Structure formats: C-alpha cells, structure tokens
C-alpha cells in the first residue's frame, strides 16, 4: 500500500513539474522543435538567396524591358494573362517577356554548345535546338494558363460559400462594400485566392473607383463565368434598388445547383476515362495471368509433337 501511494505521489509530482515547465516554455514538444528548426532553416535560406533572386529578377526584367513589343494590344494581352494567374506587379510584364527571351535562347544555345564540345556536326543539333526554342516560346504561356485555371477552379468552388456569408453580412446591416471587405477577411485562410481578389476590389473602391467598375474589373480579371454573372446581378440590384440579399440568395442556390451538376458530370465521365488504364495496364496483366499457363501447355504439346 505504501509502495502504491509513493508511486502515485511520484507520478503526480512528475507530471505537475512537466506541465509547469511546458507552460513556462522551459521544454518543447519534439514536433515543435522540428517545426522551429525548419522555420529557422527556411528563414536563413530565404535571407541568403534573397539577394541572388533579386538580382536575377532584375536581370530578367531588364531583358524583357528591352525586348518587349511596342504593340499596345500585345502588352494588354500579356497583362491580362498575368492578372489571370495572379501576377499584378508592375515589373511582371517585363519579367514575362524576359523569361521568354531566356527560355528561347539559353536552352538552344546550350544544346548547340554541347554538340560542339562533343565534336558532333552542328546540323544534328538543329532539330533539338528548334524543339527547345518552340518549347521555351510557349512554356511561359502554358504555365500561366495552368495557374490561371487553378485559380479559377478555387474561386468557383468557394463562390457559393462566399455568397452565403455575403447574404449574412448584408442582412445584418452592412453595406455591400463593407460586406465584401468582411468576406475577404473571413476567406483569408480557407481560400486566399478569392480573398486577394475581393481585397483588391475593396481597395480600388476606397481609392475612388466606382463600385460597378471595380466589380466589372474583378470579373474580367478572374475570368470566372459565375463571378461575371454575380457581378451582373449585383450591378442590376444596385441600379434598380431591389433587395441585394434576396438576389444573392437566389444566385447562391443556382450556383450550388450548377456545382452539383458539374460534379455529377465529372462522375459520369469516370467510366469512360477508366477505359484507357484498363486496356493499357490491367487487361494485359490479366491476360498474362489467365492465359499464360494455357499458352505454355499448348507450346509444350506442339513442341513434343514436332520432336
């Protein structure tokens, strides 16, 4: 009995001291230590490579500034692509053209130099260098296309929830501008892409731009068709003085229906998409497992008959 009481007393004192040390910060959990070490390592790496990255970006932007086309339509198209991918920096356009120059010159010249160092005829390097040149010419646009598509998908998935929160804010007495600002703050962690776009729109309105124009720029910048429809609904409700909350509630329900229909469409396409891996990977292995022994027996029978 005395031993049991001593054991419980020791365990109670031990855990009490451990809890006090943990609360006062004297000890840390191993996971917290690893996270802290990774954070310090990433911070040191970013500080050490920040200067190199800054000079590299300046060099690429300088090349793009020198070689950028003077056609305003091409400049506008490049800005539209960059805005759709989330690049709003003033030097983004120059970096865009600079990357095109670097990718279309460095890789082909490297291939030609490699062939020259190995003593091969340079005519043989024509096809790989031209291939790399074409890839470098369209690589930046392909990258921006995938980034923009990913951003559009994130915005599309978050729009119904955003509309519900917007309805709650409007019905609680907030104006549309204050409601958009509140929604952008709430979506900061769950959907940073939508939060950034809404925050830019609210900032443009605060700087003096008209609300309707800022909403139209939001729709054009993101390229999401449902967001364009939402902007049209908001502008129409504001123009005719109808209830914004009711219009948003109806639009949110319609968007949920479309999102469910899109999910059902994707689910229906899976059976067709499964045909290719089945034919290419699964059916050959099943054929080998099921038909392999029979083929071996047939070959053995024919071999014995010929002998």
Q: Please state the separation of Cα 98 from the chain's center in Å.
A: 23
Contact 178, 165 (CB under 8 A): no
State yes or no: pLDDT of 2 exceeds 50: yes
Find all residues with CB under 8 Å of 152, minimum gap 6, and list them.
84, 222, 223, 224
Of the candidates 52, 53, 48, 57, the one whose C-alpha atom is nearest the C-alpha of residue 89 is 57
Within 13 Å, how many C-alpha atoms sit on residue 18's CB side?
7
Short-list 108, 103, 81, 107, CA closest to 93: 81
- Tens of pLDDT, residues 97-139: 888 887 778 777 877 788 777 777 777 777 778 888 788 778 8
> Which pLDDT value is given to residue 51?
35
Nearest residue to 152 (alpha-carbon basis) of 96, 61, 205, 226: 226
Assigned token pair, 43: 């911070």
Angstrom distance (rounded) from CA 213 to CA 141: 28
User: What's the gap between Cα 148 and its chain centre?
Assistant: 8
Give 178-201 pLDDT, tens digit per residue: 888 888 888 888 888 888 888 888
pLDDT at 147 exceeding the cut of 60: yes
Sign for the pseudo-dihedral over CA of 72, 77, 80, 81: negative
Q: How many residues does the chain have?
A: 307
- CA–CA–CA angle 143, 146, 149 (5° rounding): 145
Residue 16 has pLDDT above 70, yes or no: no
Residue 130 confidence (pLDDT): 83
Burial zone of 235 (CB within 10 Å; 0-12 exposed, 13-18 middle, 19+ buried): middle
Q: Mean of the pLDDT values across residues 259-276? A: 84
The string of pLDDT tens digits covering residues 51-96 is: 334 545 676 676 767 777 777 787 778 888 888 888 887 777 888 8
Half-sphere exposure of 238 (CA within 13 A, CB side): 15
Q: String of b and e for 76-86 (b: at least 16 CB within 10 Å)? A: eebeebbbbbb
CA distances from 217 to 162, 184, 198, 221, 226 (A): 18, 16, 11, 6, 14
Q: How many CB atoms lie within 10 A of CB 97?
A: 22
Instruction: Give the span between the Cα atoms of 256 and 272, in whole angstroms.
Output: 25
Residue bearing tokens 């005395």: 2
Pair 135, 128: CB distance under 8 Å: no
Mean confidence (pLDDT) of the chain: 76
CA distance linking residue 101 with residue 272, whole number of Å: 41
Higher pLDDT, 299 or 24: 299
Q: How far is CA 281 from the centre of its chain?
A: 30
Residues 6 or more apart whose Cβ sits within 8 Å of residue 224: 152, 155, 156, 159
């Amino acid at each position: 009995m005395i031993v049991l009481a001593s054991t419980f007393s020791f365990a109670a004192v031990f855990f009490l001291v451990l809890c006090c040390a943990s609360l006062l910060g004297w000890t840390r959990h191993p996971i917290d230590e690893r996270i802290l070490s990774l954070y310090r390592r990433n911070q040191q790496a970013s500080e050490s490579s920040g200067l190199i990255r800054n000079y590299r970006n300046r060099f690429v932007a300088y090349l793009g500034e020198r070689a950028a086309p003077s056609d305003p339509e091409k400049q506008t198209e490049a800005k539209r692509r960059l805005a759709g991918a989330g690049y709003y920096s003033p030097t983004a356009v120059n970096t865009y053209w600079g990357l095109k120059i670097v990718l279309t010159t460095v890789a082909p010249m490297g291939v030609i130099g490699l062939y020259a160092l190995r003593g091969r005829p340079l005519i043989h390097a024509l096809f790989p260098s031209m291939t790399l040149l074409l890839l470098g010419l369209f690589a930046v646009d392909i990258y921006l296309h995938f980034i923009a598509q990913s951003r559009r998908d994130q915005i599309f998935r978050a729009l119904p929830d955003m509309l519900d929160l917007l309805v709650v804010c409007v019905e609680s007495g907030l104006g549309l501008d204050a409601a958009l600002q509140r929604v952008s703050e709430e979506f900061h962690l769950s959907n940073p892409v939508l939060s950034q776009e809404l925050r830019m729109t609210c900032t443009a309105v605060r700087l003096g731009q008209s609300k309707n124009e800022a909403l139209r720029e939001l729709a054009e910048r993101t390229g999401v068709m449902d967001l364009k429809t939402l902007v049209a609904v908001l502008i129409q409700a504001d123009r005719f003085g109808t209830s914004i909350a009711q219009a948003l509630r109806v639009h949110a329900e319609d968007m949920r229906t479309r999102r469910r229909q899109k999910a059902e469409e994707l689910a229906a396409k899976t059976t067709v998409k499964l045909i290719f891996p089945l034919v290419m990977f699964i059916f050959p292995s099943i054929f080998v497992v099921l038909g392999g022994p029979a083929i071996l027996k047939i070959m053995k029978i024919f071999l014995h008959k010929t002998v």
